[in-house]
Amino acid sequence: MNERVSLTDLRQGVRPVDHPPARSGRIGVLLLNLGTPEGTGYWPMRRYLKEFLSDRRVIETPRLLWWPILNLIILTKRPGPKGRDYASIWNNERDEGPLKTITRGQAEKVAEHLKAVAGDRVTVDWAMRYGKPEVRERIQALLDQGCDRILLVPLYPQYAAATSATACDQAFRALMDMRWQPTVRVSPPYHDDPVYIASLVASMKRELAKLPFEPEVILTSFHGVPKEYLLKGDPYHCQCVKTWRLMREAFGWPADKFRMSFQSRFGTAEWLQPYTDKTVQALAESGVKRMAIVAPGFSADCLETLEELNGENREIFMHHGGEEFAYLPCLNDSEDGMQVINHIVERELQGWL
């Protein structure tokens, strides 16, 4: 027979001795980013690429056509070259990709901020959609710490099915296996949030002031997606254009000096245009000698910014007649970057704190 519990005990939250463990009413915040391989060698790179490129949100090609291409060609040929690309930007001190280092720093600084705002009621964690730490594992860790309410924060300013949606999918898969699910909120995209735009512009102006030259053109480069996704109703393209327009207006520059483009395409299908590499080449060939490039769609520097933009596109510009090239870093866990993330988290926790 269960130990008797008085009405007073019930009001004070006292449970019978044989009552199963119950969560204690804490709040969790989980930052979600894309992911990074666990190493730069062939097999870690292959595992990462397989998980990433097997996602139906990322590659919508019918499986009957895609699986032979992925398993017989891409996963055989791409791990080596991609591993060398990652090795060029690898954080050797921590033995991890910079995206993991920066996302951890963002989570730690959000935790510091929320402790000052809400005391010890909130636990902040972080996870990667592909690779580690896994979303399921970190949600369970929050539950184990007593969090019965969790705010998911996809760190993508512009919404896309292949980024924000797939990160949430992974969280929802974990919830499907739980008898007692936590209450969950998802922070919305913040492509036109005034704090985000102001922080981008402030960060860019500081970085531009450090340069020994004045750029003739600033190119804002967003990660590309197949044009087909736009035609199916994905809002990503429109949100990127709005971010670019608001940034340009804040700078007060004309469209021919403050341009936008889309990077990182692969395959033979048409992707969102204009393409970054083609735009950089055309600028150099048109006589532009000095340019800067920035990637406002990335919340943290990663392969696509450090190697592709600051490496490959720098070479393209110089090879075709350019003379001065600068890559302006992402917001990362800088003061400007944390102002954005803290603002979003605090806003979306309203009513819980």
Q: Give the position of tokens 């800067």.
A: 292
Short-list 340, 164, 330, CA closest to 235: 164
d(Cα 119, Cα 97) in Å, to the nearest integer?
A: 32
d(Cα 10, Cα 13) in Å, to the nearest integer?
A: 5
Burial level of 346, CB count in 10 A (0-12/13-18/19+)? middle
Beta-bridged to residue 26, according to DSSP, are 147
176-179: list long-range contacts, CB under 8 Å, 24+ apart. 178/143
Name the CA radius of gyration of the chain, rounded: 23
Q: What is the CA 232 to chain-centroid distance, rounded?
A: 23
Count the neighbouring beta carbons within 10 Å of the beta carbon of residue 325.
22
CB 266 within 8 A of CB 304: no
Residue 200 is classified by DSSP as H
Contacts of 62 (CB under 8 A, 6+ apart): none
Burial level of 14, CB count in 10 A (0-12/13-18/19+)? exposed
CB 210 within 8 A of CB 329: no
Question: Annotation-wise, does 304 bind a ligand?
Answer: yes
Beta-bridged to residue 33, according to DSSP, are 128
Kindly state the tokens that stand for 310.
Answer: 């600051």
Per-residue b or e along 67-98, where b marks 16 or more CB atoms closer than 10 Å to that residue's CB: eeebeeebbeebbeebbebbeebbeeeeebbb
Q: State in Å, rounded, how far the first CA of the chain is from the last one.
A: 39
Residue 265 is classified by DSSP as -
Count the neighbouring beta carbons within 10 Å of the beta carbon of residue 141.
16
Question: Annotation-wise, does 237 bind a ligand?
Answer: no
* Known binding-site positions: 223, 304
* Known binding-site positions for Fe(2+): 223, 304
